[in-house]
Structure 1
Amino acid sequence: MRAHLGLVGDRFHARPAHRRASVTVFAVESLEAITRELALAAVPNPLLPRRNVVLRGFPVDTLAATRLAAGALFSLDCGDGPVRFQANRPASPCGWMDEVLAPGAHRALRGRGGVRCEPLDDGVLRVGPAILVVDPA
């Protein structure tokens, strides 16, 4: 992870148009919800929506900016020290979700497609448990 640039190796890394939205954080609970709503046989693989960070146990979409307030500052620590993020805007799902997840997934994920963020620190994120801390300000 590189501050203000995104994930090294990601298609949006260091792209000027994407710096404030270079990392997308997503809640696996969104996939569980559409599994119920669309009566899917199994929860889709969390890698299919092409979000960079998938979390469990936190309402990720509440971090996004709204018309009235800036997005939240938060950090993730996978054991190598915290990496801070500025949440900026919702990650709106696209029509591709109907192809990769299931018919109707595009509409079902509206309002719960994750949040686009800017990393504020260099650091390391790993697969596995992490500590999420939201700045209370």
Structure 2
Amino acid sequence: MSIGVITHLHIAKATRLPMRAVDAAEIQTARGIIGDRYHGSRHRQVSIQSLQDLQDAGRQFGAPIAPWLTRRNITVSGTAVPRTPGAIIVVGDILLEVVRVAAPCKLLDDVIGAGAQEALRHRGGSICRVIDGGPVEIGTPVAVCTEQAVRPLRFVTRMADA
């Protein structure tokens, strides 16, 4: 199991408003990120993407793609983001469950440039619901694990902070 870290956090107050970079946020159980447009939605509570996937998409696209342009909340480095529904992602003390793949929308070609949607296909990250909430910030450890490994991993990440 690889442990990565959060490299970028973004929120938008409403749909179609620009994403805003933040250093820290509060993620609420079964609700999402406080202050984000999807806070309170049933399933689309937090979106997460891999920095490596974003860099790969940028190479295919022919130019770097800034994390905020994809409209995902959390960007991580050092670990892959699972796409399988039911997968568990541990973000510090926060537990996220993957609900579905975050498919890139056609508007990305308008915002980023022609070909962006295709470059991000299969690299758009995942949409998650929040099982256990809490504070999150840039540098928070992130790991993907089976449900059986969640409790020990949360203990290990807390011990690493001590």
Q: Smaller-chain TM-score range?
A: 0.7 to 0.9
Q: TM-score, structure 1 length as denominator?
A: 0.80
What's the counterpart of residue 56 of structure 2?
A: 33
Matched, 1:7 2:33: yes
Segments of structure 2 that go 5 or more residues without pairing to the other structure are 1-26, 149-162
Shift of 1:129: 4.2
What's the counterpart of residue 71 of structure 1?
A: 86
What's the counterpart of residue 100 of structure 1?
A: 111
What's the counterpart of residue 120 of structure 2?
A: 109
Paired positions, count: 122
Q: TM-score, structure 2 length as denominator?
A: 0.69
Shift of 1:124: 0.7
- Check the 8 A contact 1:87/1:116 in 2, yes or no: yes
Which amino acid in the other structure matches residue 64 of structure 1?
R
Distance across 2 between alignment mates of 1:34 and 1:133: 22
Which amino acid in the other structure matches residue 127 of structure 1?
I
Which amino acid in the other structure matches residue 12 of structure 1?
Y
Distance across 2 between alignment mates of 1:96 and 1:57: 28
What percent of counterpart residues are identical? 30
Which amino acid in the other structure matches residue 61 of structure 2?
L
Segments of structure 1 that go 5 or more residues without pairing to the other structure are none
Matched, 1:55 2:76: yes
Distance across 2 between alignment mates of 1:72 and 1:38: 29
- Cα separation, partners in 2 of 1:76 and 1:48, compared to 1, 3 Å: same
Tell me which protein shows more strand as a share of its residues: 2
Shift of 1:102: 2.5
